[in-house]
Amino acid sequence: MTKVPNGRWIHIIPTTILVYIVAYMDRTNIAFAIAGGMDKDLGMTSTIAGLAAGIFFIGYMVLQVPGGMIAEKGSAKRFIAWSILAWGGLAVISGFVQSPTQLLMIRFLLGVAEGGIWPAILVIISNWFPNEERGRANAFFIMNIAIASIITGPLSGWILTFSNWRMVFIIEGIISLALIVIWLPFIYDKPEDAKWISKEELDYLLRKRREEQEKIKEIQTNTSFIGILKKANTWKLIFIYFFYQTGIYGFSLWLPTIIKELTHTGMGDVGLLSIFPYIGTIVGLYLFAQLSDRSMNRKLYTALPMICFAICLFFSVEFTSHIWISFAFLIGCGVFLQSASSIFWTIPPLLFSPEVAGRTRGLINALGNLGGFLGPYIVGWLTANYSQNIGIYGLICFLIVGFILTMLLPNITSGKSLSTVNGKGLHHHR
């Protein structure tokens, strides 16, 4: 069997990873700006500082569905190129704000600018990677979150050692703008548009696309937005992602506090120790994507990381009297932290026709990311009113609900197409 050239893995994946690493950096560097004195310089209360960090997600919802629609109907490449210029420019402008009101406005607009990138990149990956490769492709892309979490802290901290919080925004915003010179020559919407692709690879990808289209050609389509909202499977996916994101953001935001309370060490050691769960995240993403692509059982390998995440959280609490055993379970949490994400995003194209899969992804990502508000809030409220352990138990409950909902999805495997997607049942055809 002739080996298929791998230009798509060399050009598409590293470029999408790099773009989202920098996007994630500009999203989260406000935490370091606040620690670097921004709140004092602008006269911000802790409530306003929290709102400035969270208002990003309100703006983030705006372009989720439109971004998916533009990507599937027009050009994801051009849409993301304009998004890069918009969010990079806004990131730089953040360094010049003079009041909390200005900061809130910029952070909201930054969320708008970044909002359509995730569904648009997932459309590009779907165009470039056949179903049997898509789990791994999504996993490599989603590794950007773990990588960004590892590098943002040291980079922002280093900038603060020789300058101030304004330069954190300005320097990292300039890095964002520089991405455009990498994005434009490497990324193309579809294989047939690319100048660098070989004939062998193009033929392979076009053949796989035809095969996939034949498998799903009998899907009953409803391309209206209202039609998508009427699907039970749409709401299952939204709530699965919502509960999963609640666990992810709740754990990630409170991880430094958890480690500090557990180890009773200084912030320098806490920062170093917090890297290890994210190294586990990279391992987990790769491992579960391999298992999923090998078996093509998307439901099972979306559900397993959620319940394993919950189990590791539970034992990290139960073993707090044994510091390093508890910390080992925190690393285990890191392994399962994002493992379901890459596989989860292979499911919408299997449940919905190509005409609506992009906007469905945007809808799921928009509403599901509201878990980014809920998770940290729940942990904080339960910790303040009861204890930190009770706060963690709250996250465990949400992850268990996400696991149960995932197991209620239709059985989705490769080699089967869906002739009916109505939320009540699916008929499979070989």
161: its two tokens? 């050692």
Q: What percent of the chain has pLDDT over 70?
A: 86
Q: Is the predicted pLDDT of residue 202 greater than 70, yes or no?
A: yes
Q: Are 95 and 166 in contact (CB under 8 A)?
A: yes
End-to-end CA distance of the chain: 24
State mean pLDDT over 151-171.
Answer: 84
pLDDT tier, 131 (very low <50, low <70, confident <90, very high otherwise): confident
Q: Residue 429: beta bridge partners?
A: 417
Write the DSSP assignment of 344-380 as a string of letters: HTTSHHHHS-HHHHHHHHHHHHHHHTTHHHHHHHHHH
Amino acid at 343: I
Q: Are 423 and 231 in contact (CB under 8 A)?
A: yes
If we measure between CA atoms, which residue out of 357, 367, 237, 362 comes closest to residue 298?
237
Using the structure block, give the residue that is written with the tokens 């994801």.
76
Report the range of poorest mean pLDDT among 257-266, 358-367, 397-406: 257-266
Q: Is the predicted pLDDT of residue 81 greater than 90, yes or no?
A: yes
What is the structure's pLDDT at 422? 41
| Phi/psi of residue 45, nearest 5 degrees | -80, 170
> Which helix or strand (DSSP H or E) is residue 418 part of?
strand 417-418
Q: How far apart are CA 271 and CA 154, in angstroms?
A: 9
Q: CB under 8 Å to 390, separation ≥6 — which residues?
A: 382, 383
Q: What is the mean pLDDT of the chain?
A: 82
